Structure 1
Amino acid sequence: MEAKKEVWLRGEKDPLLAPELQPAADALLQAGEELETLLPDFPDALLWERPAGVAAVGFHLKHIAGVLDRLLSYAEGQMLEPGQLEYLKNEALNQGDTTQQLLKALENGIQQTIRRYRKLDAGSLGAFRKVGRVGLPSTVIGLCFHAAEHTMRHTGQLLVTVAVLRKGI
């Protein structure tokens, strides 16, 4: 069986997306595919284990979904709402979700982020945005790319954590 090409190598382009954002969307889709492949049978009992003190698989799944929502809010010129701040506060907490529930929430977060990317006009990508309570400077395109690279960073960390936990099974 031939290995599936990475998303960015498939030549599939989203006609509703500013071309500058296609690489960011590809990275998000790649992360989603890798996690779906890795975690379908991951034991719920291991979601919140922290081998050697690293972040738990459950945290990574919740954090990726949350950070995508928060960064896109900033890209859209909005400040965070109370529900987003509450989600942030609870990302590291085991709230009884299963692996499948967290994967579904993450997939929804990735798809929602891409829908939000589609609404961004190419002419606005260089616009400045304020990030966080102190209003750190960024641009729309910077926030969109940070969403993608931050997702891939946590995906990589999660992949290693899963490998360590599975070896202990």
Structure 2
Amino acid sequence: MVHSTIGIVHLSAALLAMATGAVVLLNAKGGLLHKRVGYAYVVCMLILNLTAFLIYHLFGKFGLFHWLAVLSLVCLAGGMIPVLLRNRINNWIYWHYYLMNWSIVGLYAAFWAETLTRTLPMNQFWPVVLVATTLTSAVGSYLIRRNSSRLLAENA
């Protein structure tokens, strides 16, 4: 449920980030579409994380999962700084590939956690969230590793 304008912005940014992240993952890397949609993903993620901090500041609601917004920002910065400084960073594509992919995996894991938080009784919450986020992370890890050598070789 959404209880404020900031909550609506937070939810909208999350849904747009999920959509733009999926577009980036499912399409060719390095082209104009990748860059434009990728930057849209970054903006959505920045708005998402900013609103997570605003929700805490204004409403005092900063749960465990909102602390992961800090990790999300680290992945986002770690994935984008090498792109912006690619002439100065050796193997910038590796940092970009892995950290941006983990940013998206973390977003989808957060989606499951948030969805399950709002739909399950608390006595079932932790086991189901743990299983859902573990499965999301395991599938994401598999896909990241499976595609890394091909994608990194194509875009090196």
Using the size of structure 2 for normalisation, the TM-score is 0.33
- Per chain length, whose mean CA-contact separation is higher, i.e. which structure has more relative contact order (CA < 8 Å, sep 6+)? 1
- Compare the two structures and name the one with the higher helix fraction: 2
The structure that is strand-richer by fraction is 1
